[in-house]
Amino acid sequence: MKKAYIAAAAALTILTVVTPSLAQDRQPVLTLGRPCLIADYGGNKICIIDEAGKITWQMKAQRPQDVWMLANGNVLFSHIKGVKEVVLKDNSVAWEHKVEGPIEIHACQPLENGLVMIAESGPMRIIEVDRENNIAKEVKLKTNQKRPHGQMRKARKTKAGTYVVGQYADAILREYDGDGNIIREYKQKNAFGASALPNGNLLVSTGDAHSIKELDKDNSIVWEIKENDLPDNPLRFVAGMQRLPNGNTLVCNWGGHGHVGKQPQVFEVTKDKKVVGELYDYKQFSTVSGVCALDIKGDPAKFEILR
């Protein structure tokens, strides 16, 4: 009788675990299915994963947020106190920009002629520096925030020479011209940042406002994913994104602020809001803020990668 009870209890336990998944009729996707660079903000590292989601390269980094594969095969990334370009073969530092004091770096971008755009929270400015760390251009931005951590997240220079900046605590997304004049703004709670698309639209991530938006030139929403639009992928803190040539979007669903371990860290979603790949691995990764697909051809310094 005791053995029969144990067997019955074990069977009941199995049913309890499996049934909810079956009821949701979900077929789990365990990998993004494409090689990617990953900025693991919570795990303090930069990684490369293969199609199966296995780490093939990694390097320590303090609170990394932005990451790029350069045309020369090196990796460029931001960390809280600077920007580094590293050589994959031996992890040597090919170039570095450091900051000290009450300054935070959350965004960087490779530009033509070897320049690198860096967004400095604290001074609240964007600088373009050469490989000798000379400042070739400085653009001062406007904010009401004194605390560096709340000033900026994602910042991007556009092909037109303007700068699109997510001003997180100001609750606004702004576009500045080359002289620092505001030429466009969109009120958005927890504005993380935006990518400029070839058609002039902006692909906007909204941090803890739990949404993804695509805005046209008049700031009208032409495409949107709301917090609970994707089954089993509730939007938490929406961070880095990449629009792929097939129209899909890679999304970093940073799980901090109470949601660590509860949903995939990165997913790929189609225009009709179907999730076709996801990274859900809290053994290898913590909270992911940046992603860059490695099977997409193009030179990011020539605005050929839409991030």
DSSP symbols for 27-55: ----S-SS-EEEEETTTTEEEEE-TTS-E
Quick check: 269 and 249 in contact, CB under 8 A? yes
**Residue 266, pLDDT score:** 96
> Does 104 have pLDDT greater than 70?
yes
25-31 mean pLDDT = 55
Closest CA relative to residue 248, chosen from 218, 278, 209? 278
| Alpha-carbon gap, residue 185 to 215, rounded angstroms | 11
pLDDT for 82-97, tens place per residue?
Answer: 999 999 999 999 999 9
> Which CA distances in Å does 70 have to 86, 110, 202?
10, 8, 23
Confidence of residue 263 (pLDDT cuts 50, 70, 90): confident
187: number of CA atoms within 13 Å, CB side?
0
**Residue 6, pLDDT score:** 38
118-140 mean pLDDT = 97
Alpha helices in the chain (DSSP H): 2-23
Lowest mean pLDDT across 12-26, 72-86, 162-176, 230-244: 12-26
Q: What is the sign of the dihedral through the CA atoms of 43, 46, 49 and 54? A: negative
| Alpha-carbon gap, residue 215 to 219, rounded angstroms | 5
Confidence of residue 30 (pLDDT cuts 50, 70, 90): low
Domains of the chain by start residue, with CATH: 32-302 (2.130.10.10)
**Residue 59, pLDDT score:** 97
> Does 22 have pLDDT greater than 70?
no
- Across all residues in the chain, what is the average pLDDT? 90
